Structure formats: structure tokens, C-alpha cells
Structure 1
Amino acid sequence: MASSLRVLVHGGGIGGLSLAIALARRGHTVEVAELRAELDALGVGIVQPSNALHVMRELGVLEQCLEAGFEWEVLTVCDPAGNTLAGIPQPRMGGVPANNGIPRPALAGVLGRAAAEAGARIRFGTTIAELADDGSGVDAVLSDGSKGRWDLVAGFDGIGSPLRRRLYGERFRPEYTGFANWRVTVPRQPEVRGVVMSTGNPAAKALLTPITGELMYLGAVSAEAEGFRPDPERAHEQLAERLAGFGGPVAEALAQVTDPRAVVYSRISQVTVDAPWHVGRVVLAGDAAHASTPHLAQGAAMAVEDALVLAQSLDAVDGAPAALAAWEERRRPRAMWVQNMSRAVLKQETGTPTTPEEDELLKVGVPGAAHVLVQPY
């Protein structure tokens, strides 16, 4: 768009900060309302597959991400004893690396600094209290009492999105899959030079993911009751119980986990907003619109793609509502493919019956999915 827009981004996570960078560098006025007091980034580490790194290059922060993380090219598949079954080279997109593992706090720092340098303002401890879209603009009152009028409000506020509830009530609530993630940071073993995935144990799937030269995280996916939460005093022991059948590098990593406070537990849920992702001048993106299970490591990648494509759509299409429609038409098929494929892989790994549509997706396989996702977004 030729004119500068005023944009309020609700949520200062990976997707929200990426949008702030993309828009501010295009000359738009951007404020980010972030409920947390600082960009402390909950969690352990994250994989940036090649399509996410392609976005980072477009945002001008690729080198900072690579310096803070650990590049890798080959996915290693092992049996529960730790014997290597396959080494699968990962594809590249547009000349960037195949993958980068990075600590979440480091990524938050890279994106937060870039957003500020581009001219975006991040308002911490703040959320939207009131919102009114009159067709020509959006009037918002923030929780700190400040008021403003915006051309566009973008909700990158996560799987529990307050903005989604404001638009749709409880219609699109997170759906618990019956499985959960356990993650804990440990020293990187020298032989772990890319993701090592151990499968074949009915109790859990285990992964080792390098995130710096010195660190990696041990991850596990296990079936858990919806109301289960780890015992704060025994979380490391409970993780060990679920990984008792694993040997090799997984067992070596597990032996280093002695502090229950270091274990990060999160239920695996998904959200499908089966309605327009934009209502007037208010748009939902990332996990707020299409949260997936982590089985393709594409959740954050879809969010940053959403952000960059939204900025491009605002450049290319006159009028914010029309630009949002064009953005959604471009993004929905790809994001839904990732969600459906991720859920199909979860079912396959856990022996859950699949639908005929999921069976067709599974013919592509996880290695094939990586090649699909390095195609233009």
C-alpha cells in the first residue's frame, strides 16, 4: 500500500515481532501490545526449518539467528536402543541452511532488537481491553488505559488467543490431542549434530535437538491424561519413567537431568478457526488461527510466514480489508496442510486410526513434507 498504516500487533511472540519488523521496515507505524513484562520467551529451544530461515533472511536477521543457534542438515532416525536406522538430508530453500536450532530466549532477543531498531514500539504488560471496528478504522483501549485508533489490528496472541475469543467467543477452543511434550536443556553430545529422533517405543517418542554449540534439548512426546501435570518435585523422575525404554544418546542425555525445575511440560493441542481469519480490520494469525501439533516442527515457521506474507499483501493490495482477504487466500491452504499433516503423523506414530484423507497425506511422509515446505510460500 502506498500510504503508511497504523498497526496494532497483539502479542510479542515470534510471529508478532516478525510482523512488527516487516511492517516497520516498510514505513508503517507499529505498536506491539505484549502481556509479559519482558521478552523472556517461555520454553527451551526451537527448530527453524529452511522456510522459517528464508523469512528471517527477508527480515534481515538471518545471520543473528545462525550466530545464536546451531545449523544442521541431516535428520537422524534411531531405534529405542539408539541404533541409527537412517540419516535423512534435509532440503534447503533459496540458499539458506536446511535447519537451525536456537534457544527461544535468544530468538526473542534477536527479533525484539530488530523490531525496536526498525521503529516499532513494544508496550510490555499490556493487552487489549476494548476494541471497536467501525469499518474505516479500529478504536482500541489498552489495559494501561491508553487509547488509539488503528488501521489494522493483528492477533499473534497464541493458541489461547484473547483476540480470537473476542471475535468468536468459545467457538474455536484449543483441542487437546491426548499427548504432551516434555523438554529439558542438557549439554550437547558431540555426536548430536542435528535432530536425533528415536521411535518405536510405544510409551513415548524421544528427540535430541542441538540449539547451540554447547547445548541441546531432550524432548519426549507421551500420552497423558488431560488433567495431568508433572509433580514439581518429581518432574525429572516422571520424565525418566516415560523414557525408561530408551538407550544410547537419549539415555545419556536423560542421565544429566537431575533438577525437576528444568523440565518444561506442555500439552499438545491444536486450533482450527474454521471461519474467516479476519473480521473487518482485525486479523488472527499464527497459533491464534491455526495451531498445529509439533510433528513437522512448523508451528513457528507458519507464524513467521504469516507475518511476512501479511506485510507483502498490504504492499500489493489497496485497502486493508481487501489485503487481509488476499493474505488469507494465500495462507490458509498451506497452514491447513501443515496442520492436517502434523495431526496425521501424530496418529501414525501413536497407532491411532487415521482417515482416508490422512492416509493420503501420510504417503508423502515426513521427509517428503520437508520438500513440500521449501516451495514458495
Structure 2
Amino acid sequence: MASPLRVLIHGGGIGGLTLAAALARRGHTVEVAELRPGLEALGVGIIQPSNALHVMGEIGVLDACLEAGYEWEVLTIADPAGNTLAAVPQPRMGDAPPANGIPRPALAAILGDAAVASGATLRFSATITDLTDDGDGVDVTLSDGSGGRHDLVVGFDGIGSALRTRLYGEKYTPEYTGFANWRVTVPRLPEVRGFVMSTAGESAKALLTPISDESMYLGAVFAEAEDFRPDPARAHEQLADRLTMFAGPVAAALAAVTDPSAVVYSRISQVTVEEPWHVGRVVLAGDAAHACTPHLAQGAAMAVEDAVVLAESLDTERDVPAALTAWEARRRPRAMWVQAMSRAVLRQETGAPTTAEEDELLKTGIPGAAHALVQPY
């Protein structure tokens, strides 16, 4: 499109800020409405696989991410005692490194700074209270009293998306998988120089992910009742109880956890919007449209890919509706493949029954999936 657009992005997470930077760099007028009072990201750290790092290069923040994080090239699979079973080199997309671990707050700050430096406006403690799409534009009112008319509204507001509910009601509520993540930041052990995954039977998985020279996060995935929540006074002890079968670096990392408030617990859920991801000039992206389990470490990568492909589609198509149609045709097959593959790996790791389609996907394996995902998005 030749003329600059007015775009409202609902949600200032990883995907929303990436889109804000990508669009503002192209000369569009961009506002981000974020419900939280600031960019203080929840959680501990995040893996940026090569395709996500390629996106970071597209919006000009690759070097900042690598400086704030910890770059690595090999995925290590270990037994519960910490002995290496396999060391799997990770593929590259173009000139991007194979992988990087980074603290979530650092990534939020980098993306927020990039969005603002590109010309986007960030509005905190703000959410959509009214929205009317007349076909030629979208009139929006925000909870902070601001608003206006926009050419496009993008919902990057996460797995619990309020914009998705506005479009589809309660039809696409998150589906709990029966498993949950436990994560806590600890000092990086010298021997942990890349992502380490260790499993014990069908019920326990421990992960070590370096996110800076000084720190890493210990992650654990376990089956948990839907209504379970850690005891605020004993969360570190409850995590230790679940990891008694692990020795070596996992046990050493666990020994450093003495503060229950440092433990971050999150249920693993998924969402699949089966209808079109856009209705008129309002579109859902990232976890709002296709949240997946974390078993390929591709959730955030799919969101940032969504962002740059949407910006590109708005460049190349004749109008907003055509751009949204082209964008979804390009993004849906890849995002749905990641979701299906991630779910199949979850079922395989936990001994749950798999379908014939999942069995076929599992022939690719996690290493094969990594190679598939460094192909152009």
C-alpha cells in the first residue's frame, strides 16, 4: 500500500512490540495498547531459536538480543544423572545464530525501545472498551479515554485474548493440556553452555537454559491437576519434591533455589482459532490465534514471524483486507504445523495415546523440526 496506515496493536508483548517496530519503521502510525502498567515481563527467560533471531535482525535488534542473552549452538540431551546422551547441533536461518537464551524482561525492554525509537506510541494501563468496524476503518475507544479511527486493529493480546472474545465469544477458550511448567532463575553452571534437556520416565522433564553469562533458568514439566497452584510458602520445596529423580547439574541448580517467590508456575494450554483469524479490519495474531505447547520452543518465534510477515503483506497487497487474506494464507499452515508437532511431542513424552497423524509428525523428530523451521517464513 502506498499510503501510511493508522494501526492499533492490542497487546504489548513480544509479538505486539515486534509488529510495532516493523510497522513504524515503514512509516505507519502505530499505537500499542497494553493492559499492564509497564513492560515488566512476567516469567524468567525465553529461547530464541534461529528463525526468531532472524526476525530480530529484520527489525534491527539482533545484536542487542545477543548482547543481553547467551548464544549457543548445541542442544544437549542428558540422562537423569546428567550424563550426555546426545549433542545435537542447531541449524541456522540465513546469517542468524542457531539459538539464544535471554531474560524476558531484557527482551521486553529491547523490543519496547525499538518500537518507540521507530516512532510507535505505547499506551499502558489501556485496553479496548469499544470497537466498531464499518468496513472502511475501525473506531476504537480505550479504557484510558484515548482512541480514534484506525485502518487496522491487531490482537497480539495473548492466549487469554480479550479481542478474541470480542470477535468470537467464548468459543475459543484456552484448553488445558494437563501439564504445567515450573521455572526459576539460578546462577549458570559453568558446564551449562547451551540448552540441556533431561527426562526421567514418562512423567518428568527437566530443562536448563542459559540466559546470560551469569544466569540460567531451571525448568520442569509435570502433569498437574487443573486446579493445582503451588503453595506460596513452599513452592521451591514442591519443585524439589518433583525433581528427586534428577542428579548432576539439575540437582546442583535446584540446590540454589531457596526463595519460594522466585518459582514461576504456569499451566500449559493451547488455543486454535479454526475460523479466519481476521474479521473485517480486526485480526488476531500470535498466541491469540494459535497458542501452542512449548515443546519446540516456538511459541514466541511464531508470534514474531506473524508480525514481520504481516508488515510485509501490508507492503505488498493493494489494501488491508487483501493483506490480511494473504498474510493468513501464508502463516496458518506453518503455525498449525508447529502447534500439531508440539502437541504430538507432548503426547509422546508423556506416554499418552497418539493419532496416526501425530505418529507421522513424530517421524520428523525435534531435530527435523528445527531444520524445517529455518526455512523461509
Normalised to the residue count of structure 1, the TM-score between the two structures is 0.99
Alignment gaps of 5+ in structure 2: none
- Separation in 1, partners of 2:336, 2:89: 25
In structure 1, the gaps of 5 or more residues are none
**Contact in 2 for aligned 1:80/1:201 (Cα 8 Å):** no
3-state SS of paired residue (2:307): helix
Match of 2:277 in 1: 277
Q: Residue by residue, what CA displacement relative to the aligned partner does 1:57-111 show, whole Å, maximum 9, x if unpaired?
A: 0000000000000000000001111111000000000011000000000000000
What is the deviation of 1:147? 2.6
Distance in 2 separating the partners of 1:308 and 1:285: 11
**Which whole-Å CA distance do the structure 2 matches of 1:83 and 1:201 have between them?**
16
Helix, strand or coil: the match of 1:323?
helix
Alignment of structure 1 residues 274-353 onto 2, 5 Å:
274-353=274-353
Q: Which amino acid aligns with 2:343?
A: R
Given that 2:15 and 2:307 are in contact with CA atoms closer than 8 Å, whether structure 1 keeps it comes out as yes
Q: Tell me how far apart the structure 1 counterparts of residues 57 and 120 of structure 2 sit (CA, whole Å).
A: 19
Name the counterpart of 1:251: 251
Distance 1:40 1:298 in 2: 22
Residue aligning to 1:102:
102
Large movers: runs of 4+ above 4 Å: none
SS at match of 1:42: coil
2:137 corresponds to 1:169: no
The separation in 2 between residues aligned to 1:201 and 1:101, in whole angstroms, is: 27
One-letter identity of the residue aligned with 2:205: K
Amino acid aligned to 2:202: P
Instruction: Give the structure 2 partner of residue 202 of structure 1.
Output: 202
Q: Match of 1:67?
A: 67
Secondary structure of 1:199's counterpart equals strand
Return the letter of the residue paired with 1:148.
G
Paired with 1:348 and 1:22, the residues of 2 have a C-alpha distance of 37
- Give the AA of the match of 1:20: A
Give the secondary structure class of the aligned counterpart of 1:328.
helix
| 2:157 aligned residue | 157
Q: How far apart are 1:201 and its partner, in Å?
A: 3.2
Distance 1:146 1:197 in 2: 47
Q: Write out per-residue CA displacement over residues 34-79 of structure 1, whole angstroms, 9 at most, x where no aligned residue.
A: 0111100000000000000000000000000000000000000011
Counterpart position of 2:142: 142
Give per-residue Cα distances to partners, 1:254-276, cap 9 Å, x unaligned.
01111000000000000000000
- 1:200 deviates by 3.0
Give the Cα separation in 1 of the matches to 2:6 and 2:364.
Answer: 42
> What is the rounded CA distance, in whole Å, between the counterparts of 1:308 and 1:281 in structure 2?
18
Q: Are the equivalent residues in 2 in contact too, given 1:201–1:245 (CA < 8 A)?
A: no
Any idea what SS the aligned residue of 1:149 has? strand
Q: Distance in 1 between matches of 2:60 and 2:153?
A: 24
Tell me how far apart the structure 1 counterparts of residues 189 and 147 of structure 2 sit (CA, whole Å): 51
Question: How far apart are the structure 2 equivalents of 1:185 and 1:10?
Answer: 29
SS in 1 for 2:183: strand
1:321-361 CA distances to partner (integer Å, 9 max, x unpaired)? 11000000000000000000000000000000000000000
Task: Output the amino acid matched with 1:292.
Answer: C
> TM-score, normalization: structure 2?
0.99
After superposition, give the CA deviation of every residue in 1:166-215 in whole Å (9 maximum; x if it has no partner): 00000011000000000000000011000010013333100000000000
Aligned length: 377
Map of 1:7 onto structure 2: 7
CA-based RMSD: 0.5
Counterpart CA distance in 1 for 2:164 and 2:279 is 10
Structure-1 separation of matches of 2:118 and 2:76: 39
Report 1:82-121 matches (<5 A).
Answer: 82-121=82-121
Match of 1:49 in 2: 49
Tell me, in whole angstroms, the C-alpha distance in 2 between the residues paired with 1:22 and 1:2. Answer: 16
The answer on whether the counterparts of 1:176 and 1:267 sit within 8 Å (CA) in structure 2 is yes
Q: Which moved more, 1:22-31 or 1:199-208?
A: 199-208
Residue of structure 2 equivalent to 1:188: 188
> What is the distance in 1 between the residues matched to 2:146 and 2:55?
33
